[in-house]
Amino acid sequence: MSFDLETDATNTWCPGCGNFSVLRGIKEGLGDLFNKDYMKKDIVISAGIGCHAKIFDYLDLNGFYGLHGRVPPVLMGVKIANPDLTVIGFAGDGDILNEGVSHLIHAAKRNLDATIIIHNNRVYALTTGQFSPTSPKGFKGKSTPEGSPEEPLNPLHLLIGSNASFIARCYSGERKHFKETFKKAVRHKGFSVIEMLQPCVAFYNTWDYYNDRVVKLTESDHDPTNKQLAWKEATYQEDRIPIGIFYKEQRKTFTENLTGPKPTDKKQRDIKKLLKKLS
């Protein structure tokens, strides 16, 4: 583990929260990458709003703590300014599959060279238990005491239809699997997304549910270049929930396809006049 990523922020996640596994997997994964081709100063992170977003405070990295659902456009601005940076975003299921769903779709379509972790606990946890876009039909929460009448959104189906070039699903109960998948997502040149099945112990405790159903996709039983197969495997089933890399392809990234304004050069610029004008 790279302890260089530690901060002095007090962790306020509930004991047993699935986010702890995500945080540790990120630290371990980046620690491995820092020992090879990546440097800490070249990593930029962003987060939306929600319990997931507290991870921003627990990682000593450069970044921008944004608004609900605005992680993709923040990362896009960073990459346009400097395509050499590695950008990583953290978003919740309500955060990016509701408020920010349009940003997610267009970032996937454009193949922005970015990695986004969707913390999917299938509930609005920070606001104490309302149903989210991924809550199952019949979910009983504070906003749906009689049960949600809606069918849940499948994030991976949305991303397959939006032409994301790297699509994976992981589970908080399989931290080492997440760590290795995360490293592959970061190394991927293009838009890489991991749906993280992350139980919320306070408002939707799914540890036992996932422990009984999660299975790993292996290279021997799944071809990640087959989009139709990816769609089939990504379907939630009552008795079997696969995790792993469902789909990946290589194609030009958004910044490589830009024909308009070129990314800014690395010349140092004085922005004091601009800040004074905007103040």
Q: How much is the mean pLDDT over the chain?
A: 93
pLDDT at 263 over 60: no
Q: Is the pLDDT of residue 265 over 70?
A: no
Higher-confidence residue of 2 and 52: namely 52
What pLDDT, on the 0 to 100 scale, is given for residue 261?
A: 55
> What is the pLDDT, as a whole number, of residue 260?
59
Whether 69 shows a pLDDT value over 60: the answer reads yes
- Provide mean pLDDT across the span 164-169: 98
C-alpha distance across the termini of the chain, in Å = 42
Inform me whether the pLDDT recorded for 161 exceeds 60: yes
Identify whether the C-beta of residue 98 lies closer than 8 Å to the C-beta of residue 67. no
Per-residue model confidence as pLDDT tens digits over 3-55: 589 999 999 999 999 999 999 999 999 999 998 789 999 999 999 999 999 99
Please classify residue 197 by burial: count the beta carbons closer than 10 Å to its beta carbon, then call 0-12 exposed, 13-18 middle and 19+ buried.
buried
Contact between 100 and 69 under an 8 Å Cβ cutoff? The reply is yes
Burial of 264 (0-12, 13-18, 19+ CB in 10 A): exposed
pLDDT at residue 275, as a whole number: 84
Amino acid of residue 2: S
The β-bridge partners of 89 are 46, 116
**8 Å CB contact between 90 and 78:** no
When pLDDT is cut at 50, 70 and 90, the band that residue 151 belongs to is very high
Identify the pLDDT of residue 266: 60
Residue 1 pLDDT > 50, yes or no? no
Q: Two tokens at 216? A: 């790993």
Q: Retrieve residue 258's tokens.
A: 């830009």
**Residue 135 pLDDT > 60:** yes
Q: Which positions ≥6 away from 259 have C-beta within 8 Å?
A: none
Reported pTM? 0.91
Is residue 117 scored above 70 in pLDDT?
Answer: yes
Output the six-digit token pair for 190: 């293009």
Q: What integer is the mean pLDDT of 51-76?
A: 95
The total of other beta-carbon atoms located within 10 Å of residue 181's CB is: 23
